[in-house]
Amino acid sequence: MRREEKSNPKTSPPPPAMPSPPPQPLPISEHADEIVAAVEANTVVVVIGETGSGKSTQLSQILHRCGYSRRGAIAVTQPRRVAAVSVSRRVAQELGVPLGDEVGYAIRFEDRTSERTCIKYLTDGVLLRESLSDPELKQYSVIILDEAHERSLNTDILLGLMKRLIKDRASDLKVLITSATLDGLKVSNFFSGCPVLNIPGTLFPVEKFYSTERPTNYIESSLKTAIDIHVKEPSGDVLIFMTGMDDIDKMVSKLKERIQNLEEGSCMDALVLPLHGSLPPEQQVRVFAPAPPNCRRFIVATNVAETSLTVDGVVFVIDCGYVKQRQYNPSSGMYSLDVVQISRVQADQRAGRAGRTRPGKCYRLYPISTYQKEFLEATVPEIQRSSLAGSVLYLKSLDLPDINILKFDFLDPPSRESLEDALRQLYLINAIDENGQITDIGRIMAELPLEPSLSRTLIEANELGCLSQALTIAAVLSAEITFRPTRSKDMEGKRKRQELPDGSGWGDHIQLLQIFESWDQTGYDPRWCSDHELQVRGMKFSKDVRNQLSQIIQKIAKGPTDVQAKKRQKSDPDYRKLRRALCVGYGNQLAERMLHHNGYHTVGYRAQLVQVHPSSVLEGDEYGKLPVYVVYHELISTTRPFMRNVCAVDQSWVKPILKKIERLDINKLSGGSSSSKNSEPLEEKQASSPKKVMDVTQSDVD
Ligand code: ADP
C-alpha cells in the first residue's frame, strides 16, 4: 500500500538538499573494503559493531556506492518504526537527496518511497508483508536485517525465511545481519557457518558508579543524580533511561523545574528533551540537533536510545535498571505490561552510550550485586513472550512446502504451548480448519496489516454489510496513537467527557466508532477534538489509517465492499450487524458474566476470572445490567486481570463458537504433531523471565 502523495513527477520538485556527511568517519566506513569483499564472496554475512559505529546509516550507502542497488533496491529492516523513519531521514540528508526519492522508508500505514528508491528502510513487519505478494522479494538485491540483537518477533521470523530464500536466490541476493551485541557465532551457525565481521569500535572508557541499594523512587533518584551532574561535572550531555512515556513526562517537567530553581547554580544552560517512539517527528529532530553553545542537554529516553537511536554528545548516563516490557502468557491468553529489570547486555549498552566521544560516566541506580546476580544475561527474545497468532497465520499463508509450524526453523524456538495457543486462536476465528490448514478467510486475513481479530472482523463485516463502521474501529484500534480522552479528574474534564458519545451501552468499540463519526460530522474539525480533550494527532492518524485500510480491503476482498457510508446506518440502531461481526472476529476472546460473582470468566480452553477495565465505558454500570456476553480486544494483567475494550454480544451469536470450542482437537490442529502424539519434542522449556518489579497501566512502551 502506498500513499497517494508518493512522488508525483508533475508536482514541483523539492529544493535540492545539500549533502551532509557524518562529521568524522565512522568505524564501519573505515572497514568498507573488507565488508564489500565479504559480501562479494558470500550470500550471508553477519556484521557485529558497537552501537553508533554506523551499521544502520553507512552499510546501505557502502553497498549502494559499489553498485548493488543497480540490480534491485537495498532493504534495511528496523524493528522500530521510529528508527526506520529517523535513520532514513539521516541517510537522505547525508546523500543530499529529498527523503522519499532515492532514500525512503516504509512503516505500517506510511510509505515514503518512490520508483526511484534504491535504499529503503522498512520495519521488519513491512518486509514480512511484502513477501506475501512477492515471496522471493525480487525487488531487492540486498536485504540488511539491522538491529538483530533486539530479537524482535518479526526479525526472528525473517531470519528463518531468509534461510529458505537464499536457497532460491543464492546467485542474486545478499543478506546481511547486523547487531551490536548478538552472539555472532550462533547466527553464523544458523546460516551454515557464514562469515562474521567484527568491526572494532572506538568506545572510550566509561566509569561506572553503583548505588548501595535500589532506590524506592527511581524518578526521584534519577533527578537527584542529574542535578548533581549538572552542578559538579564539566560539559557533556546526560542521557537518562526511563521506562515509558509517563515517567519521561514526569521526569522532564520535574527536571526543568529543579534546574530553574537551582540554588547552587551551574555555569551552563540546560535543555531537557524527551525521546521515545511516539514522539512527533518535529520533536525527534530536536534530539539529533547539536546542543547550543554552553548548554548541557538532558535527554530523557526509553530503551529506544539503548541501541536503535544514537544521540551524539552524551558523556553521562543515568540508568535506572528497569524497562517496560509486554509479556504474553499463552496459558491464560493474557498480556501483562510490566516494569522489569533489564538484562546485563542492556545495562552494558546503556553504559556504552557515555563513551562514544570521550571518556564518560555511567550512574547505575542499583547495586553491583543486582547487576551480577539478579539481571538475566540477555533479554528474552520477543518470540518467547508474544502471542504468535499473527505470525503463525502469516507462515501458514506462505504455503511453504514441507512446513509444519511446530517445526519451523527458528533461531530460538518459541514454546510449544505458545504455538498451540496460536493454532487454537486461529481455529476459533476460522482462519484455519480443524486440520490446521489455512482457510480462504485466513488467506484474506493474512493480507490485511492488522491483528487476526480485527482482520476477521472486517471480513465478517463485509459479509454483513457494515464494513464501513468496522473499518473505523479497526483503524482506531490499530493506529498506535491514542485519541482517547485523558482521564483528567477535574470537573471541566469530566464535563467534556460526558459530552462525548457513550457507546449506547454496547461498549468501547461502539463508543470509539461514535466518537469518530461525531468528528466526521464536524468535517474533521481539529477544534472539536481539543474541545473534547481528544488528541488531534491520534484522530488524524486514525482517519489516515482508515483510508488506507479501505483501499487495501477493496483490492483483496471478494465481492463488493461498502467502505464509503460513514454515517450510522439507521436501519441498525443497536449496531447488531457490527457487534455480530465483532463477535465473530473476537471469537477467541469471549467472556461470560458470572452469576454469583462480581465479574466475568473467559470462555474457552483457558477459563479464568476477569473484570472490565476501569477505562471502559461499561465500567461503573450496575453489575446486574452488564451484558451477559462480551468480547474483548485485549486481556491485560495489571493489579488484576482486566478486559480492555469490550463489546456486548448476543448469546445466539456465541453458540457456534461454543460448539467449535467443544470440537477443538489440538492434535488435529497441529497436524498430528502435538505433544500428546509421538513427535519430535520442540523446545519445551519456557525462557526464564525477568523479575517483574511493578504493575503499569499505560500501554506506552515505545
Ligand atoms: P549503528 O547502527 O551502528 O548503531 P548508526 O548508523 O545508527 O550506528 O549511527 C551512526 C552515526 O549516525 C551516529 O553518530 C549517529 O549519531 C548518527 N545518526 C544516526 N541517525 C541520525 C539522525 N537521525 N540524525 C542525526 N544523526 C544520526
Mean pLDDT of 359-367: 97
Phi, psi of 577 (to 5 degrees): -65, -45
- First-to-last C-alpha distance (Å) of the chain: 24
ipTM of this model? 0.96
Q: Report the 10 Å Cβ neighbour count for 288.
A: 16
pLDDT band at 462 (very low <50, low <70, confident <90, very high): very high
Statement: residue 652 has pLDDT above 90: yes
Q: Which helix (H) or strand (E) holds 596?
A: none
Q: How buried is 500 (Cβ within 10 angstroms: 0-12 exposed, 13-18 middle, 19+ buried)?
A: middle
Helices and strands, number each (H, E), in the chain:
24, 22
Atom of ligand 1 nearest to the CA of 49: 3
Amino acid, res. 42: N
Q: Say if residue 76 is exposed, middle or buried (CB neighbours under 10 Å; 0-12, 13-18, 19+).
A: buried
Question: For strand 44-49 and strand 206-210, is the pairing parallel, antiparallel, or unpaired?
Answer: unpaired
Cell numbers found for residue 64 = 549502494
Contact 460, 561 (CB under 8 A): no
Ligand 1 centre distance from Cα of residue 310 (Å): 5
Q: Name the band, by pLDDT with cuts 50, 70 and 90, for residue 690.
A: low
C-alpha cell at 93: 540528508
Q: Which residues line ligand 1 (CB under 6 A)?
A: 22, 26, 49, 51-58, 86-87, 89-90, 288, 310, 312
Residue 10: predicted pLDDT: 36
Confidence bin at 692 (pLDDT 50/70/90): low
Asked if the model's pLDDT at residue 4 lies above 70, the reply is no
325-334 pLDDT, tens digit each: 988 988 888 8
DSSP 75: E
Q: At residue 680, does pLDDT exceed 50?
A: no
Q: Give tens-digit pLDDT for 17-38.
A: 566 766 678 899 999 999 999 9
Mean of pLDDT values over 144-157: 93
What would the pLDDT profile of 292-331 be if each residue is shown by its tens digit?
888 999 999 999 888 888 888 999 999 999 999 988 988 8
Nearest in space to 632 (alpha carbons), one of 621, 648, 618 = 648
Average pLDDT over residues 547-568: 71
The pLDDT confidence band at residue 651, using thresholds 50, 70 and 90, is very high
Give the model's pLDDT for residue 597. 77
Model pLDDT for residues 512-540, shown as the tens digit of each residue: 999 999 999 999 998 988 888 888 888 89
Residue 672 has pLDDT above 60, yes or no: no
Burial of 491 (0-12, 13-18, 19+ CB in 10 A): exposed
Average pLDDT over residues 470-474: 95
Residue 174: DSSP 8-state: E
Find the 219 Cα to ligand 1 centroid distance in Å.
Answer: 28
Q: Which of 57, 91, 178 to mutate to test the pocket of ligand 1 (most atoms within 8 A of CB)?
A: 57
Return the pLDDT at 17.
58
Tell me if residue 131 falls in helix, strand or coil.
Answer: helix
Q: Distance from CA of residue 66 to its chain's centroid?
A: 33
What is the distance in A from the centroid of ligand 1 to the CA of 312?
8
Q: What does the alpha-carbon distance between residue 325 and residue 695 come to, in Å, rounded to a whole number? A: 11
pLDDT, position 382: 93
> Is the Cβ–Cβ distance between 387 and 400 less than 8 Å?
no
Nearest CA to ligand 1 atom 21: 90
Q: Which atom of ligand 1 is nearest to the CA of 356?
A: 14
Whose cell is 565488508? That residue is 35
pLDDT at 576: 94
3-state secondary structure 194-221: CCEEEECCCCCCEEEEECCCCCCCHHHH
CA 260 centroid distance within chain: 36
Alpha-carbon dihedral angle through residues 628, 631, 635, 640, given to the nearest 10 degrees? -10
What is the distance in A from the centroid of ligand 1 to the CA of 273?
18
The pLDDT value recorded for residue 115 is: 94
The backbone region for 13, taken as left when phi is positive above 0, alpha when psi lies in -120 to 50, beta otherwise, is beta
Q: Name the residue of 90, 119, 145 whose CB sits within 8 Å of the most ligand 1 atoms, as the mutation to test its pocket.
A: 90
pLDDT for res 403: 62
Among 28, 35, 310, which residue has the most ligand 1 atoms within 8 Å of its CB, making it the best to mutate? Answer: 310
Dihedral angle sign, alpha carbons of residues 537, 540, 544, 545: positive
Supply 38's cell numbers: 565479504
Nearest CA to ligand 1 atom 6: 54
Average pLDDT of the residues in 433-449: 93
pLDDT for residue 702: 32
333 CA distance to ligand 1 middle (Å): 38
Averaged pLDDT of the chain: 86
Q: pLDDT per residue over 160-215, tens digit each?
A: 999 989 988 878 999 999 988 777 888 899 999 999 999 987 778 999 999 999 99
